[in-house]
Structure 1
């Protein structure tokens, strides 16, 4: 099966390799590109460092902050944090609720936390932690910039002009899913895009499609790439 991978690099190429191992053909064409933030990193000491995206790991490591425990939202983010040289990394179960619980298990209310995040971010877990008495500083460590037009290889794939036609798409974030819908419609290929089998990392990602009139074919039971890719076989 030929599958569109629209997530940003470097994750897109890693996913493509996994798809090849499973016997699929990946079309790597990100709709988002990661760019460094212009904002200076914060200074001072924090009781904990929060990572809700692997893309923030390297900028956080480069900030040179005093050592503090790192709380990563999931396995991939934790791995990137460790590779970047961040120490004492704790891993949540892939969602904001488990991340907030993880922080609470290690840092007392009233503690100071730094949330290194992207320019476009969700309210959680910062909102829940603030309500629980934590003092949170949010630092925009990177920006995920949307492409202006649908990537050419995707246009060809949706039109069936470039080898095997696209059969499916993998969606790893709500924002990238929404951008994929928008760009496909802008290119006059909304119908062809909706006809794909859409595999979503989480219910929140799927909701981004459904609210724009695109049905989700498969939704991972937990936000893990392995679970998502297992859905390809389960849905055959």
Structure 2
């Protein structure tokens, strides 16, 4: 089966390898490109770091004290942090809710936390942590910049009905995918294949566009790949 992967290029290439191992062909069609913001890291003193994406690790590794505790959103991000030499990394279950809960269960407030994140980031986990008495500093170390159009190969594959499924990892990327598809005249075509989503929040823009969605039973790529296999 041919599976469209909408992640940023480096992430999509790793996903493509996993799909190939399962006997599927990936068509990489990033809707975002990841770029450093160049914003300074000097945000003051902090007791621990929050990392909600592996995209933050490159910037963090060049500026942070690697002995400071780091709370990672999931195991994939935690693995990247450990590979960069961070000594104390604790992984949540792959989403902001479990990350906030992990921090609240591990640390006593008031503590100061540094959230290393992207330019377009959600309120969580910072909002619930602040409510719980933590001070959360924000360093926007990277940005996910929107791509201007879908690759020609992806447009052609939709037009000829070659796409068996599409993988979606974030609400913003799903929303951008819908916009790019509609701009390319593919509104009907994208409704003719299942869209496999990391969470119900990710699925929302696709459902609003009339696309058929299926949501992973947990917010992990392994769960998404299980959905792919269920379609085979």
Q: Which moved more, 1:131-140 or 1:74-83?
A: 74-83
C-alpha separation between the residues in 2 aligned to 1:61 and 1:38? 14
Aligned to 1:98: 98
Per the TM alignment, residue 66 of structure 1 is displaced from its structure 2 partner at its CA by 6.5
Shift of 1:64: 3.1
- Bigger shift: residues 137-146 or 83-92: 83-92
* Inter-partner Cα distance in structure 1 for 2:64 and 2:91: 21
* C-alpha spacing 1:114/1:3, structure 2 compared with 1 (3 Å): same
Shift of residue 210, structure 1, vs aligned partner: 1.3
Segments ≥4 residues shifted beyond 4 Å: none
What TM-score do you get using the length of structure 2 for normalisation? 0.95
**Distance change >3 Å, CA 211–CA 40, structure 1 → 2:** same
Alpha-carbon contact 1:58-1:81 (below 8 Å) kept: no
User: Which SS does the other structure have where 2:9 is aligned?
Assistant: coil
Residue in structure 2 matched with residue 185 of structure 1 by the alignment: 182
Tell me the TM-score normalized by structure 1: 0.94
Corresponding residue SS for 1:208: helix
How do 1:79-118 residues align onto structure 2 when only pairs under 5 Å count? 79-118=79-118
- Flag the 1:102–1:189 CA change in 2: closer, same or farther, 3 A: same
**Is the CA contact 2:37–2:140 (under 8 Å) kept in the aligned structure 1?**
yes
Report the more deviating stretch, 128-137 or 60-69. Answer: 60-69
Question: What is the CA–CA distance in structure 1 between the aligned matches of 2:230 and 2:66, rounded to whole Å?
Answer: 46
For 1:77-112, what per-residue CA distance to the aligned partner results, in whole angstroms no more than 9, with x for missing partners?
111111222220000011111111111122211100
Q: What's the counterpart of residue 2 of structure 2?
A: 2
User: What is the RMSD computed on CA atoms of the aligned residues?
Assistant: 1.4
Q: Which residue of 2 aligns with 1:144?
A: 144
Query: Using the alignment, how far apart are the partners of 2:138 and 2:221 within structure 1?
Result: 27
Alpha-carbon distance in structure 2 between the residues aligned to 1:17 and 1:214: 26
**8 Å Cα contact 1:100-1:129 kept in structure 2:** yes
**Deviations 1:101-144, CA, capped at 9 Å, x for gaps:** 11112221110000000111110010000011000101101000
* Counterpart-to-counterpart distance in 2, 1:36 and 1:70: 20
Contact 2:115–2:137, Cα closer than 8 Å, also in 1: yes
Q: Does 1:225 align with 2:225?
A: no
Q: Which residue of 2 aligns with 1:29?
A: 29
Q: Secondary structure at the match of 1:156?
A: helix
Moved more, 98-107 or 27-36: 98-107
Aligned counterparts, 1:45-64, within 5 A: 45-64=45-64
Unaligned segments of structure 2, at least 5 residues: none
Paired position in structure 1 for 2:153:
153
Establish whether residue 40 from structure 1 lines up as the match of residue 40 from structure 2.
yes
